Structure 1
């Protein structure tokens, strides 16, 4: 059967105090669109024209924010992970931010269906004074649609380096018995929607109390100093995607500063 083999690349540069597109490459089902807007950041929308991913599909994205640029990346819609008859779907994401750059990776939720299989790898390289806002949210079945996920495989690997030094690493593996795992109190207590949000940059700890007020009892947030930079990490869980967004949207709006929420999130 035909499988998706797709790749998209976007690089941005600073031109007369404004972030401009430098290079755009798209292949296969990977498309990138740049909505018209005034001011910063340069906003790009990633699109998978295949409409979702299933076993054997491969999609890759590379985003480079050049020195002094401001770039925000989001998606046209939620990425859907369909039932896999063989193998797994894979997504590889590479993010690079140069000196003084600000990069926000804010895709909409990934929706996993029953019997899906998926692995994502996210590698980030930051200059010492670059700032990163990184979000990934996952929903295991949409309750409003009557969807449930009993068995699936979901893997997520993050590696974030600042000036060549590893500042954040995590590996998440959920499955194969998703329903049993998520039902455990120490995991999500039967919540099927979850998100991880990472902010790296100077003095990010100033957002700690405000972030805790937004998240409440639906997750947790902590902040540290790592070498010459700071790190704020938030995790949220909710019964469904609606409940997740109710806290995720104000959190992103606060941490993303004047750039606020990507346009597609409000559609």
Structure 2
């Protein structure tokens, strides 16, 4: 007898995990599996660079992606992504992405991923965890673009849960979260939310000296087409940016990074 309800088709899912361990003299260990890869380009100035990539081309329903950087005492690195991450329409389970950064005593990490583009119907849960030892610091960037702007896409369905938590010696010193859902999308144009912006970014520096950069940061918050503000809670500098297009946003981010970092931008980041 034939089954009156045909079985659901099996969909291949993408899973990736890349882990990098570095010491003061360079690479200590590298492990990668599935769609996640890590490259360490040769640099002649500044911090060593780690470039992560997702060979699957994006995140769809049920996919998972994990990047991890461990820096031993007094080690430093800048980690980024090869290109923008894309979260595609998902009819079932949400895609999951995780970033874990462990920084040893006296170390420093710049986490500067390129933007995440949320397609209409995307479902993404992302969690970024940073553990800082005493005397360590970090600079974190998060950029989100709502829809494919070049195609005039405006998401009507969306599910995003995005969280960044920084701990120092086990104690939470920074917590930032963003949640978007179908019900909230029509209200994003309000002045208390995104004010109609289609591209948003947050930069956060966690270090004792971070508040000292507040005035220099505010002095360059003047990129045309970008609205921005900076604040300096104790031991932190937090900058939030809103724009209608991702290119002005990237230019503003690049100018801010030139103020916040003594080293040249990663080559892959130059605009």
State whether TM-score is above 0.5. yes
In the alignment, the residues of structure 2 paired with residue 12 and residue 244 of structure 1 have an alpha-carbon distance, to the nearest angstrom, of: 31
**Matched ranges for 1:218-257 at <5 A:** 218-225=227-234, 230-257=235-262
> Does the CA-based 8 Å contact 1:92-1:120 persist in structure 2?
yes
- 2:269 is paired with a residue whose SS is helix
Q: What residue in structure 1 maps to residue 17 of structure 2? A: 7
Q: CA deviation at 1:179?
A: 3.7
In the alignment, the residues of structure 2 paired with residue 77 and residue 179 of structure 1 have an alpha-carbon distance, to the nearest angstrom, of: 26
Cα shift readout 1:183-225 (whole Å, capped 9, x = no counterpart): 1111111101001111011211121012122224712111122
Q: What residue in structure 1 maps to residue 27 of structure 2? A: 21
| Residue of structure 2 aligned with 1:199, choices 202, 205, 228 | 205
Residue 264 in structure 1 maps to residue 268 in structure 2: yes
| Residue of structure 1 aligned with 2:176, choices 170, 173, 181 | 170
Q: CA deviation at 1:175?
A: 1.4
In the alignment, the residues of structure 1 paired with residue 45 and residue 228 of structure 2 have an alpha-carbon distance, to the nearest angstrom, of: 34
**Matched ranges for 1:127-142 at <5 A:** 127-142=133-148
Cα shift readout 1:40-68 (whole Å, capped 9, x = no counterpart): 31101000000000110011111111111
Q: What residue in structure 2 maps to residue 124 of structure 1? A: 130
> Does the CA-based 8 Å contact 1:175-1:181 persist in structure 2?
no
Any stretches of 5+ residues in structure 2 without a counterpart? 1-10
> Does the CA-based 8 Å contact 1:109-1:139 persist in structure 2?
yes
- 1:103 is paired with a residue whose SS is strand
Structure 1 residues 213 and 145: alpha-carbon distance in aligned structure 2, compared to 1, 3 A threshold: farther
Q: CA deviation at 1:181?
A: 2.9
Q: CA deviation at 1:178?
A: 5.4
Question: More displaced, 68-77 or 216-225?
Answer: 216-225
Q: What residue in structure 1 maps to residue 5 of structure 2? A: none
Q: CA deviation at 1:171?
A: 2.2
In the alignment, the residues of structure 2 paired with residue 52 and residue 249 of structure 1 have an alpha-carbon distance, to the nearest angstrom, of: 24
**TM-score normalised over the length of structure 2:** 0.91
Q: How many residues align?
A: 258
> Does the CA-based 8 Å contact 2:24-2:74 persist in structure 1?
yes
**TM-score normalised over the length of structure 1:** 0.93
> Does the CA-based 8 Å contact 1:89-1:118 persist in structure 2?
yes
- 1:215 is paired with a residue whose SS is coil
In the alignment, the residues of structure 1 paired with residue 140 and residue 264 of structure 2 have an alpha-carbon distance, to the nearest angstrom, of: 14
User: RMSD of the TM alignment (CA)?
Assistant: 1.4
- 1:23 is paired with a residue whose SS is strand
> Does the CA-based 8 Å contact 1:174-1:181 persist in structure 2?
no
**Matched ranges for 1:151-190 at <5 A:** 151-177=157-183, 179-190=185-196
- 1:218 is paired with a residue whose SS is strand
| Residue of structure 2 aligned with 1:98, choices 63, 82, 104 | 104
In the alignment, the residues of structure 1 paired with residue 148 and residue 57 of structure 2 have an alpha-carbon distance, to the nearest angstrom, of: 17
Question: More displaced, 154-163 or 171-180?
Answer: 171-180
In the alignment, the residues of structure 2 paired with residue 132 and residue 165 of structure 1 have an alpha-carbon distance, to the nearest angstrom, of: 15
> Does the CA-based 8 Å contact 2:46-2:264 persist in structure 1?
no
In the alignment, the residues of structure 2 paired with residue 130 and residue 247 of structure 1 have an alpha-carbon distance, to the nearest angstrom, of: 26
